A = this chain, B = another copy of it.
Amino acid sequence: MTITDFLKDLVDFSERELEDILSHFQKEIVSKGQPLVEQGQVCRKLYYVEKGIGRNYYLNSDGKEITQLFFGEGRFMTSLESFFEESPSLYNVEMLEDAEIHSISKNELELLFDRYHKMEKLGRLLSTEMLTKVVHKLNAIQFQTAKERYEYMLTEYPDIIYRVPLGMIASYLGMSQETLSRIRKKKIRD
């Protein structure tokens, strides 16, 4: 879904408003694996994913990559606390496929928030949507078995699960790659 359609769907901006808002976004073509944010830097931009899948991840104390969130098409992506609080990012952000994204800086976004009440509303809606998603994941992680977590992933993100490497999904679900491999195998047999 294009960013234009996405914005129109959520809030009924006028043509002029929409045009102004869109003019503050920049289209970027990024290739697979290209880092958008690196751990330790402040993440200055919010991205809309038009094509591709992104993720943010960090390196744990053993140097292993832990995926925190995936961002599919039609989602806004950023290093959340870093962007909002202008603090050093705990995560790296990258695209997992060659991708088309639209970026906006925090300053310009704030400007739009101030200029348009409707834009502020959009920000609130996206934020609460994200919040409910994260709460849902937290739920899945907190008290479910590895198998149940995999099933959660299957229903919640069927589009993502077959497009990204197993190891990333495993770390996203809080289990080892080996465990996920075994679970998936058993699933197919049943």
Cα distance A11–B68 in the bound complex, in angstroms: 31
Assess whether A113 is interfacial by the CB under 8 Å rule. yes
Instruction: Name A160-179 residues within 8 Å CB distance of B.
Output: 171, 174
Assess whether A187 is interfacial by the CB under 8 Å rule. no
A124 touches B113 (CB 8 A): yes
Size of the A side of the interface (Cβ < 8 Å), in residues, is: 30
Q: Within the complex, which residue of B80, B117, B142 is in contact with A135, where a contact is CB–CB below 8 Å? A: B80
A138 touches B138 (CB 8 A): yes
Q: Kindly supply a per-residue 1/0 record for chain A positions 36-67, scoring 1 wherever the CB is within 8 Å of any chain B CB and 0 otherwise.
A: 00000000000000000000000010000010
Cα distance A124–B137 in the bound complex, in angstroms: 21
Q: Within the complex, which residue of B60, B66, B131 is in contact with A131, where a contact is CB–CB below 8 Å? A: B131
A127 touches B131 (CB 8 A): yes
Q: Kindly supply a per-residue 1/0 record for chain A positions 124-143, scoring 1 wherever the CB is within 8 Å of any chain B CB and 0 otherwise.
A: 10011011101111110111
Chain B residue nearest in CB terms to A84: B128
Chain B residue nearest in CB terms to A60: B143
Assess whether A120 is interfacial by the CB under 8 Å rule. yes
Whether A80 touches B127, Cβ cut-off 8 Å, given contacts A117-B117, A142-B174, is no
Cα distance A113–B130 in the bound complex, in angstroms: 19
